[in-house]
Amino acid sequence: MIKPITDNRNQKTIPQHVAFIMDGNRRWAREKGFFPLKGHQIGEDRIEPIIDKAIELGIPYLTFWAFSTENWQREKKEVEFLLNMFRQDLAKRVDSFHQKNVKIRVIGNIQMFPQDIQQNVNDWMEKTKNNKLITVNIALSYGGRDEIMRAVEKWRAGLKFNSAKAKQNSKLKKEDLEQYLDTFGQPDPDLIIRTGGEQRLSGFLLWQSEYSELYFTKTLWPDFTPQKFEEALSEFQKRQRRFGK
């Protein structure tokens, strides 16, 4: 079990895992008079400074929701734009993350992507697998219900593969399912931050968010700075977490 981490500057417990719903890219672009898709590029630029701040504070896990299963339903032009960002811009980011000793994990239904992006994803994770400073999950083609369904299917496939195990473990248990979740081996998020003003999770990390603290801000993601991040962490430190007790 991972021990709580403290920020030496104020001796208050800081979260082990912070997850982000990065909302508001297109609205930000429209407000600034830019082409809407420009907001996605600017939004991507905001990820690395947040990672740097987390490293400074000693937060060991971050998750960024970059593309949902529902995003496939957007206009073809926007989807292609995002796919090309993953092919080009995000690949360059991973090189920078690797130099900073960042371990990259990609979570989500990766099989929905074109083959070249699937290969890129595998290359990113292989390249950074031994990095230990911080683990950053990038959620691509991710949906909470989809993750749970995929986990159940993996469990069922495991039973079919091992008939002896199937006889002994025909009933699905909580700990069995958790082994097949995308974030297996990681702590559940202590804090989930959603930018853009909406106050809902939209299916993000449904299983893992059972006791997550939620922080909603009207700040659009391209305006979410490391200072805004620290404000969210300060609010988190004021809360009392009872975990149902």
Tell me what the pLDDT averaged over the chain comes to: 91
Q: What residues pair up with 175 in beta bridges, in sequence order? A: none
Asked if residue 71 has pLDDT above 90, the reply is: yes
pLDDT given for residue 25 in this prediction? 96
Topology of the domain comprising 16-142+188-236: Undecaprenyl pyrophosphate synthetase (3.40.1180)
Q: How many CB atoms lie within 10 A of CB 203?
A: 18
Asked if residue 164 has pLDDT above 90, the reply is: no
Least confident window among 34-38, 51-55, 114-118: 34-38
Contact assessment for residue 207 and residue 133, using Cβ atoms and an 8 Å cutoff: no
pLDDT given for residue 5 in this prediction? 44
Q: Which residues are catalytic?
A: 23, 71
pLDDT given for residue 59 in this prediction? 98
Asked if residue 162 has pLDDT above 90, the reply is: no
pLDDT given for residue 3 in this prediction? 36
pLDDT given for residue 166 in this prediction? 54
Can you tell me the distance from the alpha carbon of 197 to that of 216, in angstroms, rounded to the nearest whole number? 7
Q: How many CA atoms lie within 13 A of 41 on its CB side?
A: 10
* Of 209 and 167, the one with more pLDDT: 209
Work out the pLDDT band at 171, boundaries 50, 70, 90.
confident
Share of the chain above pLDDT 90, in %: 81
Segment 150-155 mean pLDDT = 94
Q: How many CA atoms lie within 13 A of 48 on its CB side?
A: 17
pLDDT given for residue 2 in this prediction? 32
pLDDT given for residue 156 in this prediction? 86
